[in-house]
Amino acid sequence: MAFAELPPPLPADLLEGRVNLPLKPAPVTLTGRAVYLTPLDLAADVAPLYAVSNGTPCHLGDRQVDAYDPEPLIWRYMAAGPFATLAEFRAYCVNQVDAPDARCLCVRDAATGHPVGMTNLMSNHPGHLKIELGGIWYSPLVQRTPANLQATYLMLRHAFGLGYQRVEWKCHVLNERSRRAALRMGFRFEGIQERHMIMKGRSRDTAWYRILADEWPAVEALLLNIL
């Protein structure tokens, strides 16, 4: 009986990252032209984030959003939300910040510094050099702007720069906006995991996407071309 040959061992310096990378990603500030990302500050960021995500009118520079329903625009495919009170939203943020294998980041408008969304380096597995970008949401103030594209680029560049070999993107199978965004940003579709989790009392099928380290140079060139 013939047996397939195993792939060659990974370089020693790459494998060293499995030991040196922390389970909770280190705090980092990532700066781009349209947005910049900072570790979520519970004292400073929660109230401004709630104000731009709870359905009340809001503005940012010359951008104005009238009253809206936050459930379909932001929270429908998220694990939590919408939130009836600031206290409920704060509890959600605390859970994000306290996750042992994740680093929650506040997305800020570069021109004003105002918080406009949240994202996470999460489901971190240093031992396998893989990590996920997830828990991502944006205020309607910056939806359909370069905010998500640039924030994703900054996180991908950071993760691959640290030595990760795989960066994942997962979303509810019904979240067509997220699925289109993943493909547009160079992630490759891997399939659907059925009944992956129970979310808000409903079974969720999850679409899986990923970028591998050897794919990153081409993806980076793609992103830089459209940023």
Is 11 part of a structural domain of the chain? Answer: no
Question: What pLDDT does 225 receive?
Answer: 93
- What does the pLDDT average to over 125-147? 97
pTM of the model: 0.96
Domain region containing 66: 23-226
Q: Give the residue among 6, 37, 7 at the shortest CA–CA distance from 214.
A: 7
Within a domain: 8? no
Domain assignment of residue 4, yes or no = no
Contacts 24+ apart (CB under 8 A), 133-136: 133/159, 133/167, 133/168, 133/169, 134/168, 134/169, 134/170, 135/78, 135/79, 135/96, 135/102, 135/104, 136/178
Note whether 173 and 205 are within 8 A (CB). Answer: yes
Could you tell me if residue 166 is inside a domain? yes
Hey, what are 12's tokens?
């020693």
Summarised one tens digit per residue, pLDDT across range 21-36 is: 999 999 999 999 999 9
User: Quick check: is 99 in a domain?
Assistant: yes
Residue 3 lies in a domain: no
Q: What is the pLDDT of residue 14?
A: 87
User: What pLDDT shows up at residue 16?
Assistant: 87
Question: How confident is the model at residue 227, as a pLDDT?
Answer: 86
Residue at 123 is within a domain? yes
**103 in a domain, yes or no?**
yes
Q: Which residues pair with 134 in a beta bridge?
A: 120
Q: What is the pLDDT of residue 17?
A: 84
Looking up residue 96, the CATH number of its domain turns out to be: 3.40.630.30
Q: How many domains does the chain have?
A: 1
pLDDT at 183: 97
Instruction: Give the β-pairing of 166-172 and 130-138.
Output: parallel
Measured CA to CA, the distance from residue 78 to residue 82 in angstroms comes to 9
What is the chain's mean pLDDT, rounded?
96
Three-point CA angle 222, 30, 11, nearest 5°: 70
Write out pLDDT tens, residues 59-83: 999 999 999 999 999 999 999 999 9
Q: How far is CA 35 from CA 31, 88, 89, in A?
A: 7, 26, 23
